[in-house]
């Protein structure tokens, strides 16, 4: 499942630019399968950063952070396909910022802010990395019992 849609991208990317970026056969219109592949690639990139801690892909609705990061990644990919350099790409800075934040989330340093239930990958190693999880005293309970 993709965390971003064509309609969402069109809020910042003019429809003709978007169509041009995915018109690989120069037929004068967007190649929907190419656009779908770009949207999925952006969403997969988001999942790649946080898959060690969270069960991905998320269903609907995905956490807002995932949707916004995928939006920025997709926009960056679209402009790159149009031949826009990273320095001139209007999405590059935001995408870089999201990569840093997602790395922090994936390391458990920052919580994935969400108002929905987020499936966490439950492993002994992840419990210590999970945001908000702390062992404050020895309870004498075997860790597998928690």
DSSP per-residue letters across 57-86: S--SSPPHHHHHHHHHHHHHHHHHHTT--T
pLDDT digits 0-9 by tens, 123-141: 666 666 655 544 444 444 4
pTM of the complete model: 0.78
Q: Could you read off the pLDDT of 8-37 as tens digits, one per residue?
A: 999 999 888 888 888 877 676 667 889 999
Q: Where are the domains of the chain?
A: 6-145
């Amino acid at each position: 499942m993709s965390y971003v849609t064509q309609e969402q991208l069109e809020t910042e990317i003019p429809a003709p630019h978007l169509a041009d970026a995915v018109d690989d056969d120069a037929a004068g219109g967007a190649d929907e399968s190419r656009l779908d592949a770009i949207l999925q690639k952006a969403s997969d990139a988001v999942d790649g950063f946080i898959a060690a801690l969270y069960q991905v892909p998320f269903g609907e609705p995905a956490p807002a952070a995932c949707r916004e990061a995928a939006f920025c990644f997709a926009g960056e990919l679209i402009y790159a396909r149009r031949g826009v350099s990273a320095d001139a790409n209007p999405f590059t800075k935001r995408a870089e910022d999201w990569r840093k934040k997602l790395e922090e989330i994936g390391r458990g340093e920052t919580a994935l802010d969400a108002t929905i239930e987020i499936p966490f990958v439950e492993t002994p190693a992840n419990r210590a990395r999970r945001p908000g999880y702390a062992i404050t005293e020895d309870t004498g309970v075997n860790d597998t019992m928690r």
